[in-house]
Structure 1
């Protein structure tokens, strides 16, 4: 068994994941020495109760019950706050549907141990891959990531990815209430804010596998709203860059003008002598 280098909490939001949750927890606990927080949105299929039964037998597993389905971002924010309040040094995100392999979690934690502040399990860096996706979905995802990274100047190949490890300082520095609630766009929001704050964000290759059991919670309409938000953020980012460039250029012009005036004065003094 691999061990994590610091107290680590893996947050796994659930909604109707009864068919997946027990086997997933078995794999997480076998892969590395971490605590796990299940954040259940009052799943009608009894996922929360099943998680409670599992937690009663495993001290490393905890369950946070929420009143209803409020979206993935809200579930993660609740989990982040729970973990921050308990002083975990590293806080991770992982999907409940099996698309994120627990056996790859040590790779993310190893990068944290090496000094990274945020580590993203990436489908789109060398060595990363996606299995069981239709070609159209793959191309849409990859194109969306390229667009978001270019607009935000983030240089992250898989900025929408949801398999992540954070040092607590990163999440503690972000206004979690301000995160966008549209689809998975909060993942982009978290990454862009971490980059803007100067944190060390790295990627490691993972194999993303489409779920076998259950149904996807993602509505295709998220694409339009997400692209709108990324575009607004991107324009804001470019505007800030332009302001910085303008300020630097103005200082340079002032410096050159001052140097020119000083040079002319020296020339006049030499002539007068």
Structure 2
């Protein structure tokens, strides 16, 4: 028996003997037990390999979404803004939007390549996560109808690099949803550090959705996975016509962030 299930049978038989000594029976039972342990270990190894493959597949899907999918949402936004500018006869503004779209496309491709090699996002090479997130939001929405607002309260702690990457991608995902699905006019980003707790709020005034109508895709599932990795809590509140608010709560200790 392994895990309450019958995995096989082990029997002994001798052509010239009808009975066996107790020690012979005990030895056979011990050998049978070792065989079952070997089978169980092999089964665990196969399960571990399947789990590792699934985890890697999920990581790749999340990374592709966090780089190419999010990046090209910004490209589309800038191209649509360029099209509007052309239709209104604003040639210079159209050229500016096309230039931004080109830069966003190059940056997204670069981030995808960095992700393949498990490197940190380029934005975090030059800034902490808060400044990096503000820069990405500003670059993505520059010249568009989406108005952005940023607010930080408290002496922000120095965060582990994996946390900074997770929070950066969560912020990008919230922005992508506001642009791609919510058709929002305002997007607010607020970061608060108080009583050893870090709170990131991402709010838009878009179309919103009812909880029963929500289907968690790669984006929202990726958010939850990232928050779970940090031992935090994710709250998503939304309703039709009243926008969406995403809140990340993290227990946090550390020195102030420069």
Structure-2-length-normalised TM-score? 0.28
Structure-1-length-normalised TM-score? 0.27
Structure with the higher helix share, 1 or 2: 2
Specify the structure having the higher radius of gyration (Cα).
2
